[in-house]
Structure 1
Amino acid sequence: MADSNCIFCAIAEGRIPATIVHQDADVVAFKDIAPQAPVHLVLVPREHFAGLNELTPDRARLVGRIALVAKELAEAQGCAANGWRLVSNCGPDAGQTVFHLHFHVLGGRPMAGKMV
Structure 2
Amino acid sequence: MDHKPATVGHVLVIPRMHMAGLADADDAVGTAIWRTARQVSAALRASGLPCEGVRLSLTDGEAAGQDVFHLHLHVVPRYPGDGVVVTADWKRRSRELLDQDAALIREALA
Q: Same fold (TM over 0.5)?
A: yes
> Structure 2: how far apart are the matches of 1:107 and 1:81?
5
Where in structure 2 are the equivalents of 1:38-57 lying within 5 Å? 38-57=8-27
| Runs of 5+ unmatched residues, structure 2 | 89-110
Matched, 1:112 2:101: no
Greater alpha carbon shift after TM alignment, 45-54 vs 75-84: 75-84
Aligned pair count reads 85
Where in structure 2 are the equivalents of 1:1-116 lying within 5 Å? 31-78=1-48, 82-110=52-80, 111-113=84-86
Give TM-score, length-normalised by structure 1: 0.57
**1:79 Cα deviation from its structure 2 partner:** 5.8
Q: Kindly indicate whether the alpha-carbon contact (under 8 Å) linking 1:32 and 1:40 is maintained by their aligned counterparts in 2.
A: yes
Larger Rg: 2
Aligned-CA RMSD value = 2.7
> Structure 2: how far apart are the matches of 1:92 and 1:114?
17
Give TM-score, length-normalised by structure 2: 0.59
If each structure's strand is expressed as a fraction of its own residues, which one has the higher value?
Answer: 1
> Structure 2: how far apart are the matches of 1:86 and 1:74?
13
> Structure 2: how far apart are the matches of 1:106 and 1:58?
23
| Runs of 5+ unmatched residues, structure 1 | 1-30
**1:87 Cα deviation from its structure 2 partner:** 0.7
- CA shift in 2, pair 1:106/1:60, >3 Å: closer
If each structure's helix is expressed as a fraction of its own residues, which one has the higher value?
Answer: 2
Matched residue SS, 2:14:
strand
**1:34 Cα deviation from its structure 2 partner:** 1.1
